[in-house]
Amino acid sequence: MRLLLPFGLLLANTFADELAPQKYIDLVMDYLNTLPPEVEGPYGPLVFDSTTLQCAEDSLENLPKLPIENSRENVYQHMMMGLFIKGDENALDAIKAAMTADAWIYNGVFVIETMLNFDMHFVAANISANPDSWDFSAVNWTMTGSTDSELSEDYMADILEGHPMSADLSVLTEVIAPVLEGYEDVFMYSSARTVCQSPSIIQTDHWVCPLGFDPATASCPGGCADEGCVLEQTLEQVCGSYGQQSFNWGLSPLAGSWGMDWFEDQVGNYGPPALSGFQQLEILEGAAQAIASMNAFSGAPFAGDQFASAVQGWFDANSANYSTIVSDILNSGAYEGLDWLLTAGEFMTPDFGGNNRNASGGANYATSSNGYWQIYDMIDLVSVNGSWNIFGNEWNEGNASYVNFTMGHWNSWLESNEDEWGGNSQQLIEFWSTMEWFNAIRNGTMNIYGPGGEGGEGGTPGEIPIIVMESVEWPFPTGCITKTYQASINEYLTTHGKNSSLLTDMNSFWIQMSFEQGLDWTLAPGSVFEVLTGTAYGTISLQNFLNTIDPSGAKWAAFEGCWALPEFNSLIARIESQLLIGTFWDPPAAADSVEAGELFENANWNELRIDEECCSVDALSIAEDYDAMPNLDWIWASNSSLQIADQIFPLLDPACCDFNGTLLGFFNVTNQTDGYGSLHGDPHVIVQTQGQEAICFKLEANENGVYSLLTDSVSGLEATGELVHEDEKFVMEKVYITSPKGLQIEIDSYFLKIAREGKTILETLLGSFDEFGIDDVHFSLSGVASGEHNNAVKMTISGIKGEKIELLVATKQTKSSLRFSVLNSDGLSTSGLTGIIGESIMPNDYKIDQNGFVHIGNRVILGGKQSHDSNYDCLLLSDDDVALFIGHPVSDFQTIKTFELLEDLSTK
C-alpha cells in the first residue's frame, strides 16, 4: 500500500462552511458499534474490529451540516472521502459494506432524517439552546426493512423521545407534533421510494365566466364556451405510486485507491513551478471528494475516461483555483498508466473478489478484505517508481505509445504472482495471460471498442394518463361589495356623531354614481382616498355632488371634517381590503354566486377596526385583523395575510402619520442624497440610489440566523438583523447596531437595551421615553406607545465629516417583527459599504437604462423578468435576479452576533 496521508490535517481543511452537530456522528458510531466482529461484504463476511471502528470515527471528523433529504449520500461520501485519504484497504472494504447495508441505508437514514426535522422545527420554535445529544436506545439496529410497518410513525415517535427535552410541553407542541405531521416525507426519502411507477397528468380546466352568468341554468362545465366563459388550463404531473430507488455506491475501494495513489505521485511531480505542500494536500482532498462521489463505471473500456471526466468536473464545480492544474495533470502522458489500471481492474475484479489472501478460499468466514486486493500490486507494473512514463509522454486521449509495454511485460508480471494468489494461482495466470485479454485491456485503454450488437426493437411508448378536472369561476354580484363598503362608511360616520341626513346624502351620491357610471358600478381598488376626499370623477365628484345639493358648502364641510380625523386611515384600510379581496372572492364553501355574495357580506369586516389612529394602521396591524376573520381562512392557502396587507398600506393617507410610509415597509425616496433602504420581515427589501428608480425585492432567507444589513468600514457603524422562521415566513426578530464610537444597541419588539463593551448602561421598555442621547447616538420615539400598537425608534448618529446618519427601527409587539430603515445616509461613507442594504445604496451602485436593463458594476439584469410595482413605486425584481443584483447568494450575508443583550421575551 502507499504511504498514508496526514488524515486529520486534510479533513480539517474541509470545504464545508458549517459542521454537523456531534449527535449525528454519535448516531453513525452507535450503529457501527453493533457490527463487530464482522460485517457482510459483497464476497462474504469481512472483519470489523476496534481498528475499523477507529477508522470510521476518524472518517466522520468534520462531517458537514447535513441537508434534509440528502443525508444518505452526504454521510456515505464524506466517510469514503476520509477513507480514501487514509488509504486503509481493510477499513475501506468493511466500512463501505456497513454503510451500504440495509440496516443503515433505510433504518439509519430514517433516524437521521427524523433528527434533522426535529432540529429544523426546534430552531423555528426558538425555545432555547438545542442540546447536542440524543438517546438512541429506541433505535432498533436489527431492522433492515423499508416498509411503513417497520419505518412507522410510532417508531418515529419513539426516536423523538430520545431528545433530552422531549418531555418539555413547548417542545411537544411546537417541535415534535410538526415533525410527526411530516412523517410521510421522512418515510418516502428514508425508504428510497422516489421512483414514480404510475405517473399521470392532472389537467385542470378552469372557466372564468362573465357577469350575468347563472350557474343554475347554464350548461357548464360541459358547455362553458357557449356561455362566453374563458378557459384557463393548467397541467400538473403527479405520481400515483412509487417504486424503490436503486443505489449506485460508486467505485470499488481498489479503483479509488489506485486513483488516490496516482494523484499523490502527480502532485509531487507537478511543475515547474512545483506545488507547495499545502497545495498538494488541498488537491488530494479534492481528489478524494471527487472519487467518493463518483458513480460506478459503465464498463471496463470506459473506466479511464469516466474517472478523468468525473474528477475534472468536480474541480470545475467546486475548486476553480485548482481546475487548470488538475486538467494539466489528467492530460499528461502519466494518465495512461492509471487508465490501464482502471481498465484492467474492472475486467479482473470479479474473478479475484472472492479469493482470499490467506489462500483458504471460500466465503464462509470473515477476512480482513476482499480478494480483489490481490491485484493491487499491478500498480507497480505501470507506475515505474512514481514516474508513470511507461506509455510515452503524451496521453493524447488514449492513443499512447505501447512500445515499452508489451505482452512480455504483462506475462512476466502475471507469473510473478504465482505464489500470491492462493491455491488457484496457476489457473488465474493462464486465464489472464492470453493475447485476447491483453488486447482487450489495451484497446479499452486506447478507447478502441468492439462492434456493438444489433439493436433490439423499440418498445411501445407508454402513454401517461390524463385526468381532467373542471371548475367554474363566476363573479358574485357587485351589489354585495357596494353594500358592504357603504355599511362601513355609514358606521364610520355614525361613530363620529354624524346625523341621519348626512347618511342619506351619502346614499344619494351612490345612487347618482350608478346612473352616471352604470348599474354595476362600484368603487375601484385604490380609489377610496380620492373618492371620499372629493378629488375623483371631476364634475361628478362627491364634493361637487354635495355642493350642488347645498351651494353653501355646509354639507361638504361636514363630510370633509370626517376625512381629516386621525381614524380616517383605518376606514380606508377596511374599504380597500373589501375592494381588493372582492376581486378574487371565490370561497370553496359557496355553492353558487348568491351564496358567495352572502359569505362576503358576512365576513366579519368589523374585525378591521375603524377606530385606529393614523400611526397605528400599517401592514402588520391590517394583517393581524385579517387573521382574526375566520371567513378568510381559505385565502391564506395561496397568499399570506401580510402579502394582502402590503398591497393595502400604500393606499393609505401618506400625510396622516408624521413619519409616513418610511416607518413600515416599502417607501419611495425622491430628493435624497446618496442612497436609502429598508428591510422588513417576510423579508422584503427596497433600496434607492440618487437619481435612480427605487428597486425592491423579496429576500429568500433559507435558514434562521443573523444577517448583515449595513456595515460602514470607514465610520465603524454596523447593523445586523436576526431572521427567524415563523409560520410560513421569516420575520426580523431583533436588530443589533454598533455605533461608530462602539455603543452597542439591541432592539426587539418590547425593549431597547444599550451597552458599552458588553456592559449594560440602559434598559428601557419601548414607549417609556420621548428622546435622549448617549455618546454619538440620539434616540427619539415616534408612533404610539400603547400595548398593541407600533413604536418606532429613530436613531440619529454622528457619521463622517460630522454628517448625520438616521436609522429607524419600527416594532410590532403582537407580531414580534421589526423593520429596519436607513432614512438619511449623508454621514455614511461613499464606498466600501457592505450588507444587504449597504451594498445597494452606495452612490451610482446601480443604473437603470432606457431599455429597463439594470446595470450593477459589470453585472446586468436584462429587462423582461422584472415588473413595476405601482403600490410601492419601485422596480420589482424577480426571485431569479435577486442574487445577481446584490452580487452574492443571500447566505453570504449571514454573519454572527457580536453581542447579545436581551433575552427572548416574545409571546410566541
Q: Residue 587: what pLDDT? A: 85
Q: Are the C-beta atoms of 686 and 677 separated by less than 8 Å? A: yes
Looking only at the bridges linking them, the beta strands covering 833-834 and 847-848 are: unpaired
Q: Are the C-beta atoms of 395 and 386 separated by less than 8 Å? A: no
* C-alpha–C-alpha distance, residues 583 and 578, integer Å: 9
* DSSP state at residue 42: B
Binned average pLDDT, 10 residues per bin, the chain of 908 residues: 42 60 97 93 90 95 94 94 90 94 96 96 91 96 94 95 91 92 93 83 79 57 74 83 81 93 91 88 93 90 91 93 92 86 91 63 68 89 82 48 71 84 81 88 71 48 70 70 88 85 84 72 82 79 87 86 85 89 82 82 87 76 83 79 79 61 30 57 71 79 83 90 78 90 89 87 82 85 49 85 84 71 83 79 69 74 66 75 79 82 50
Q: Are the C-beta atoms of 174 and 210 separated by less than 8 Å? A: no
Q: Are the C-beta atoms of 120 and 68 separated by less than 8 Å? A: yes
Angle at the Cα of 185 (from 180 to 189), degrees rounded to 5? 125
Three-state SS annotation for 587-643? CCCCCCHHHHHHHHHCCCHHHCCCCCCHHHCCHHHHHHHHHCCHHHHHHHHCCCHHH
Q: What is the residue whose three cell numbers read 436607513?
A: 822
Q: Are the C-beta atoms of 98 and 104 separated by less than 8 Å? A: yes
Dihedral angle sign, alpha carbons of residues 662, 667, 670, 674: positive
* C-alpha–C-alpha distance, residues 640 and 646, integer Å: 10
* C-alpha–C-alpha distance, residues 36 and 100, integer Å: 16
Three-state SS annotation for 406-447? CHHHHHHHHHCCCCCCHHHHHHHHHHHCCHHHHHHHHHHHCC
What is the signed CA dihedral for 854, 857, 858, 863, rounded to 10 degrees? 0
* DSSP state at residue 842: S
Q: What is the DSSP string of 103-150?
A: IIIIIIHHHHHHHHHHHHHHHHHT-S---S----TT--TT----STTT
Element housing 23 (H / E): helix 22-32
| Three-class SS state of 392 | coil
Q: Are the C-beta atoms of 769 and 781 separated by less than 8 Å? A: yes
Q: Which residues contact 482 (CB under 8 A, 6 or more apart)?
A: 510, 522, 523
* DSSP state at residue 332: B
Closest CA to 41 of 103, 102, 104, 96: 96
- Which phi and psi angles does 64 have, rounded to 5°? -70, 160
Closest CA to 74 of 18, 140, 36: 18
Q: Quick one: cell of 345?
A: 481492474
pLDDT digits (tens, 9 = 90+) for 746-775: 998 888 899 988 888 888 887 777 788 888
Q: Quick one: cell of 257?
A: 485507491
pLDDT digits (tens, 9 = 90+) for 144-195: 999 999 999 999 999 999 999 998 888 988 999 999 999 999 999 999 988 8
Dihedral angle sign, alpha carbons of residues 167, 29, 43, 257: positive
Q: Assign residue 537 a region (left: φ > 0; alpha: ψ between -120 and 50; beta: otherwise).
A: left
For residue 746, what are the β-bridge partners?
A: 736, 753
Residue type, 467: I
* C-alpha–C-alpha distance, residues 488 and 492, integer Å: 6
Q: Which residues contact 442 (CB under 8 A, 6 or more apart)?
A: 340, 402
* C-alpha–C-alpha distance, residues 378 and 340, integer Å: 10
Q: What is the residue whose three cell numbers read 444589513?
A: 709
Q: What is the residue whose three cell numbers read 345612487?
A: 511
**C-beta neighbour count of 234 within 10 angstroms:** 10
Q: What beta strand segments (E) does 211-275 contain?
A: 230-239, 242-243
Q: Residue 658: what pLDDT? A: 43
Considering only the C-alpha atoms of the chain, give the largest distance between any 2 of them, rounded to a whole number of Å.
122
| Three-class SS state of 741 | coil
Q: Are the C-beta atoms of 846 and 664 separated by less than 8 Å? A: no
